[in-house]
Amino acid sequence: MTRPLILVLCTGNSCRSHLAEAILRRALGDAYEVQSAGSKPAGYVHPLALQVLKESGLDASAHHSKHLNEFLNRDVETVITVCGNADQACPIFPGQRRRHHFPFDDPAHATGSPEEQLAVFRRVRDEIRAVFEAYAAGRLDQAQAQAQA
């Protein structure tokens, strides 16, 4: 059986969407496929995003920046945008049944000392974790209720 695909989108696919992808993938387990992409991919995953994920016990070193067009021929069950630009540029994907918009600050725009920038990445990671873990709990509860019905 094919796992439902949840696609997390942002503009650059370098920070927020990778944070959300890793956190949601862990929270949902193997029942879902979770990917991320961008409308204008930066071509890299921000090193501080990788660092704050690692601090949370998540290894995203294999992640890479992808364009949302890579998913236009896939059945994407759910699209979640994490920035306003991606929400506005988001196409409708084949098989799409759900769409959510959870906006977060872009930590890549953080200024100040390296420690201050890292603090912004940690804050955004923690905000994303709170939202996406709650979302995952709801999806898992819904799937369990449907299985029992």
Catalytic residue numbers, as ranges = 10, 83, 90
- By the 8 A CB rule, do 52 and 30 touch? no
Q: What whole-number distance in Å separates Cα of residue 81 and Cα of residue 142?
A: 21
Beta partners for 6? 34, 78
Quote the strand ranges of 23-137, DSSP E: 33-38, 78-81, 98-101
Cα separation values, 30 from 20, 123, 129, 132, 140, Å: 16, 27, 18, 16, 11
Phi and psi at residue 82, in whole multiples of 5°?
A: -120, 10
Helix (H, G, I), strand (E, B) or coil at 120: helix
